[in-house]
Homo-oligomer: A and B are copies of this chain.
C-alpha cells in the first residue's frame, strides 16, 4: 500500500520536470512560428485526428477559449483547417493540414532525437512503471479537481 507521503515524492518532482522540459521544448521551437501551447494542439490533432475545440480543451485540461485562440493562430499560419462536423452542426472539426502535419512531424523528430540521448541509462521497466503511476495520477486528479476556470490558458 502506497502512502500519500510516498506519492508526494512523485508530485514534488513534477514541477521541476515540467519547468525544465518546457524550457527544452521552447528552445527547440525558437526558430519556428509554433509556440509550445500551439505545439500541444498540433500534437493532439496529429495523434487523435480531426476534432472539435472543446474536445482538444478537455484533453489538454485547459479552457476552450485558450484552445480557440491557438486554433485561430494555427489556421492563419496554414497549419490547421476547420471542416463541417457531421455530428454537430455548430461545432466545427479542426484538422491538421498537410503543412501542419509536416511541421509537427519535424518538431517531434527533433525532440525524439534529444530524448534518445536523455533516455540513456534509464531502466525500461522503471519507465513503464512511471507511466502507470502518472496515468493513475491523471485519472484520479481529474476526478477530484474542478474544471478549469474560463480564464485559464495553456500551458
Contacts and interface: CB of A to CB of B under 8 A. Distances in A.
Contact of A138 (B6, B20, B114): B20
Contacts of A11: 17, 21, 115
Interface stretch (A69-77, A78-86, A121-129): A121-129
A142 B20 contact: yes
A14 B116 CA distance: 18
Contacts of A112: 4-5, 8
**Could you say how many copies of this chain the assembly holds?**
2
A17 B134 contact: yes
Contacts of A142: 16, 20
A14 B134 contact: yes
A119 B7 contact: yes
Nearest to A122: B2
Interface residues of A, number: 63
Contacts of A6: 119, 124, 127-128
What 6 pairs across the A-B complex have the smallest Cβ distances?
A4-B115, A129-B129, A4-B116, A20-B141, A13-B134, A126-B129
23 contacts: A1-B124, A2-B120, A6-B128, A7-B122, A9-B131, A10-B134, A13-B135, A14-B17, A14-B18, A15-B60, A17-B134, A18-B18, A19-B60, A20-B61, A20-B141, A20-B142, A21-B137, A23-B141, A23-B146, A118-B137, A118-B144, A126-B132, A129-B130
